[in-house]
Every structure is written in structure tokens, then in C-alpha cells.
Structure 1
Amino acid sequence: MSSIPIHPSSIHPSIHLSIYLSIYLSIYLSIYLSIYLSIYLSIYLSIYLSIYLSIYLSIYLSIYISSYLAIYSIYLSIYLSIYLSIYLSIYLSIYLFIYLSIYLSIYLYNLSIYIIYLSIYLYNLYIYIIYLSI
């Protein structure tokens, strides 16, 4: 068998057209589809994902945060009630003890000074009454 050389002009026009169309369509479709799909997918995905994620996240986060906050508020109320009762009882007992001891010592000191002045005054009054009675 001998090989017959094939010249491009000897190729049948339908084969030539099919090769040309396949190359043209492959290039055109690849460019068109890449641009179209990139634009379409970017727009579609951005809109879809934004809507989906906003709805999903709002519902999920509202449920999650409300349940978390409910549990946290219960924990916080128990913690604060115990902590504040212990802290306030200790703090107030120490504070009131110190404050009242200082305040009462100063107040009683002033009261004792007034009592001394009153006793001196009453003593002078007593002496004056005795002096007048003589």
C-alpha cells in the first residue's frame, strides 16, 4: 500500500468546514461559557448566598443566641445571687463593723465630752444654788 499525499485543497469541503467549525466553536464556546458562567455564577451565588446566609444566619443566630443567653442568664442569675449574697454579707459586715466602730467611738467620745461639760455645768449650778441658799 502506498501512501497518497493529501493536499489541503484536496480535502473535502465538508471536512474542512467541520474542522473549522469545531475549532471555532470550541474557542467561542470556551470563551463565552467561561465569561457567562463566571458572571452568572458570581451574581447568582452572591445573591443566593447572601439571601440564604442572611436568612439562615439570622434564624440560627437568633435561636442560638437566645438559647445561649437564656442559659447564660440563668447561670448569671444563680452566680450573682450566690456571689452577691456572700460578698455583700461579708463586705457589709466588715464595712459596718469598721464604720460603726469608728463612728460610734467618735460619737461617743464627743458625747462623753458633752457629758463632762454638762457635769461641770451642773456642778457649777449646784454650787451656785448652794451659795444662794446661804
Structure 2
Amino acid sequence: MLSVFWWCGQISIYLCICLSVCLSACLPACLPACLSVCLPACLPACLSNLSIYLSIYLSIYLSTIYLSIYLSIYLSIYLIYLSIYLSIYLSIYLSIYLSIYLSIYLSIYLSIYLSIYLSIYLSCLTPLAVIIDNVVDEPVIEHIGNYVKIETLK
């Protein structure tokens, strides 16, 4: 399949070269005569030559080798521009976004989150501390002479 495309490309290049040689040889000699005397007679022949030229040009232009080379060059240039654009854009965007995010959004978020979290945490800890305080008895130590008396209050 690749050899068919290669041969089509070779034929289109050969026809292009032949056409350019023929046109460069015939056009300077034919143009003044066509314009002055033979324009009505030569116009259909010139138009047919022009249509042949256009068909050859389009066959070269639309050949797969030309299109593949053109598209590969175009896409590589496009990808280079895209990578440069994205690297610059992302570096600027991320630096601005992260500076704003870290300075403003994160501080607001953390202050709200910590205030809510600590208020819930402390409101849950206060009854728990009261319960623990009521469960644990505080010992009362009395010194009676050489003896020590330990009592718990209830």
C-alpha cells in the first residue's frame, strides 16, 4: 500500500516538473501571439491546458505523501506552540492561583473549619469532662498523729 502512495507521489512530481518545463518553454512564445491574434482560437486550448495544470496541481496537492508531510510539519509546529503556550500559561496560572489560594482561600477555609471543629470538639469534651470528674472520686487525706486517713467524697 505504501508503494502505491510512493508511486503516485513520484508520478505527480514527474508531471509537475514536465508541466513546468513545458509552460516555461511555451508560454513566452505563445503569450504575445495568443493575446494579439489567436486569442479566440487558442482560448479553448489554453483552458484545457489550464484545466490539466489545475488537475495536476490538485493531484499533487491532494496526494497522500504531500498531505502527510504537510500535516506532520503542521502538527509538529502546532504541538510545539501548544506546549510552549501551555507551559507559560500553566506556570503563570498556577503561580497566581496558588498564591491567591494559599493566602486567602486557605486561610478563610482553615479559620472557619477550625472554629467549627473546635467548637464542636470542645462542646463534646465539656460534658465528658464533667462525667469523668463525677466518676472519679477525689481522695481526702487527713493526718491523725502518726496515721494517715484517706477518704473519698461522694
Aligning the two structures, in what range does the TM-score lie when normalised by the shorter sequence? 0.5 to 0.7
Aligned to 1:111: 136
Pairwise mapping of residues 1-134 of structure 1 onto structure 2 (< 5 A)? Answer: 22=46, 25-39=49-63, 42-78=67-103, 79-88=105-114, 90-112=115-137, 118-119=152-153
Checking the alignment, whether the CA contact within 8 Å between 2:139 and 2:152 is kept in structure 1 is: yes
Normalising by structure 1, we get a TM-score of: 0.59
Larger strand percent: 2
Measure how far apart 1:60 and its partner are.
0.9
Aligned length: 102
Runs of at least 5 residues in structure 1 that lack an aligned partner in the other structure: 1-14, 121-134
Q: 1:44-92: per-residue Cα shift (whole Å, max 9, x none)? A: 431222111111110111000110000000011012023213431x124
Runs of at least 5 residues in structure 2 that lack an aligned partner in the other structure: 1-37, 141-150
Q: In percent, how many aligned pairs have the same letter?
A: 26
Q: Which has the higher contact order (CA 8 A, sep 6+)?
A: 2
Aligned to 1:128: none
Measure how far apart 1:43 and its partner are.
3.0
Q: For 1:42, give the aligned amino acid.
A: L
Checking the alignment, whether the CA contact within 8 Å between 2:137 and 2:153 is kept in structure 1 is: no
In structure 2, relative to structure 1, the CA distance for the partners of 1:113 and 1:31 (3 Å cut) is same
* Whole-Å separation in 2 of the counterparts to 1:31 and 1:100: 88
Runs of 4+ in 1 over 4 A off after TM superposition: 18-21, 112-115
Larger helix percent: 1
Measure how far apart 1:109 and its partner are.
2.5
Normalising by structure 2, we get a TM-score of: 0.52
